Amino acid sequence: MDPIREAHLSEPGLLVIDVAGFDDDTVFAFQAAIARLWGTSTAVHTTRDAGQPGVRLRMYTDLCQVLGEASPPEPEQTAT
């Protein structure tokens, strides 16, 4: 992967997350979990290092941009 540059982290709350996993499904599931909570620039493809097992993915996350709870909404109450 390319080195992380100062411009990537120009203000507090910005993260660069490099993820390594067994396969695309694994790293994309991790990315989706993070993107449900915080503003995240999502990747559309992974990279592979020659001669190394697994895949890598880089994502950019803004912890100041909270998107809300990841849990499902509460069921509606019905009148009885």
Position 16 scores a pLDDT of 84
Contacts of 15 (CB under 8 A, 6+ apart): 9, 60, 61, 62, 63
Q: Specify the pLDDT at position 24.
A: 94
Q: Where are the alpha helices (DSSP H) in the chain?
A: 24-37
**Where do the domains of the chain lie?**
13-66
pLDDT of residue 39: 81
Q: Give pLDDT tens digits for 51-64.
A: 988 999 988 888 77
Per-residue confidence (pLDDT) for residue 2, from 0 to 100: 61
What are the two backbone dihedrals, phi and then psi, of residue 13, each rounded to the nearest 5 degrees? Answer: 95, -10
What is the model's pLDDT at position 72? Answer: 47
Mean pLDDT by groups of 10 residues along the chain of 80 residues: 57 83 94 88 87 90 72 52
7, 19, 14, 15: which is closest to 45 by C-alpha?
Answer: 19
Least Cα distance to 42 among 54, 55, 25, 58 occurs for: 58
Report how far residue 28's alpha carbon sits from residue 8's, in angstroms, rounded to the nearest whole number: 21
